């Protein structure tokens, strides 16, 4: 366990040195919140069903952070380690090879959690953010969302033959998800055709689940989102387990 902790600590330091990941996980969502929160404020409005703009934005931006860590950092790091023979070398050490996989999950989980906390703290201090979730509903939704998207990220790392292909696949998946899922552009301003297209995007169900539970809905009212994310989690994990290569 100590070896896993030390490995995770090193991996986290490397993640913090990755400007793109650190910026889009920590700084960019906060910047977006300050910019649009400054424009629209956080007064209740019928446009958002009686909720404030910032109250709606925060859970949506959490979906954005999950996408950054789960669809960009996680698969690209693993694919790069495979290309550089790091995964293969781990198999020749006393450390269990799967430690590097577990450490990546832990690092990206902590990165996502820090991004969430920064959003919440900024929203509360600047815009009087409201947290309306009942019981552990949002926490459970957050965990399910993370592991579903992380599993999808592992799927990308598993099927990509090399780091270059993983980068291409990750970008091809990430950017459409970012703009069609409601993570950056609210569903409320999307035309009907974009809303219809968004239903085939996995991140849509993450954003919808996080937003609804954050604003007070019970998990029982989010059955569709939960089922879809569970299917993504199970299918992605199963295919990854069959196709993952250490070298």
- Across 6-10, 128-132, 163-167, least confident range: 6-10
pTM (2 d.p.): 0.93
What's the N-to-C CA distance of the chain in angstroms?
25
CA–CA gap between residue 186 and residue 183 (Å, rounded):
7
How far is residue 72 CA from its own chain's centroid? 9
Q: What is the pLDDT of residues 94-134, one digit of tens each?
A: 667 677 888 889 999 999 999 999 999 999 999 999 999 98
CA–CA gap between residue 180 and residue 197 (Å, rounded):
8
CA–CA gap between residue 240 and residue 243 (Å, rounded):
5
CA–CA gap between residue 23 and residue 29 (Å, rounded):
9
Residue 18: what pLDDT? 86
Residue 19: what pLDDT? 87
The pLDDT of residue 82 is above 90 = no
CA–CA gap between residue 3 and residue 116 (Å, rounded):
28
| DSSP H helices in the chain | 2-17, 19-22, 28-40, 53-67, 74-83, 86-90, 99-127, 137-159, 163-180, 192-198, 202-214, 223-243
Residue 108: what pLDDT? 95
The pLDDT of residue 79 is above 80 = yes
Task: Give the bridge partners for 51, in sequence order.
Answer: 45
Q: What is the mean pLDDT of the chain?
A: 90
pLDDT band at residue 206 using 50, 70 and 90 as cut-offs: very high
Task: Report domain extents, the chain.
Answer: 2-243
Residue 156: what pLDDT? 94
Mean pLDDT along residues 199-220: 95
CA–CA gap between residue 202 and residue 67 (Å, rounded):
10
Mean pLDDT along residues 50-66: 95
The pLDDT of residue 176 is above 80 = yes
């Amino acid at each position: 366990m100590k070896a896993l902790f030390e490995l995770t600590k090193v991996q986290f330091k490397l993640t913090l040195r990755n400007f793109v990941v650190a910026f889009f996980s920590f700084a960019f969502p906060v910047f977006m919140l300050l910019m649009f929160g400054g424009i629209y404020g956080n007064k209740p409005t019928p446009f958002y069903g009686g909720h404030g703009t910032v109250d709606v934005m925060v859970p949506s931006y959490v979906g954005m952070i999950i996408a950054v860590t789960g669809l960009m950092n996680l698969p690209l790091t693993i694919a790069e380690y495979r290309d550089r023979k790091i995964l293969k070398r781990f198999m020749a050490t006393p450390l269990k090879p799967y430690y590097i996989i577990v450490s990546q999950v832990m690092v990206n989980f902590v990165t996502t959690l820090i991004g969430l906390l920064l959003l919440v703290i900024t929203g509360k201090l600047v815009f009087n953010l409201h947290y309306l979730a009942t019981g552990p509903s949002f926490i459970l939704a957050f965990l399910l969302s993370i592991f579903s998207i992380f599993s999808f990220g592992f799927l990308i790392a598993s099927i990509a033959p090399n780091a270059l292909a993983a980068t291409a696949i990750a970008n091809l998946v990430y950017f459409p998800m970012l703009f069609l899922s409601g993570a950056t552009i609210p569903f409320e301003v999307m035309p009907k055709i974009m809303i219809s297209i968004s239903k085939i995007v996995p991140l849509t169900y993450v954003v919808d689940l996080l937003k609804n539970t954050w604003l007070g809905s019970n998990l029982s009212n989010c059955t569709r989102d939960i089922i879809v994310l569970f299917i993504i989690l199970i299918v992605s994990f199963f295919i990854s387990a069959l196709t993952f290569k250490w070298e």
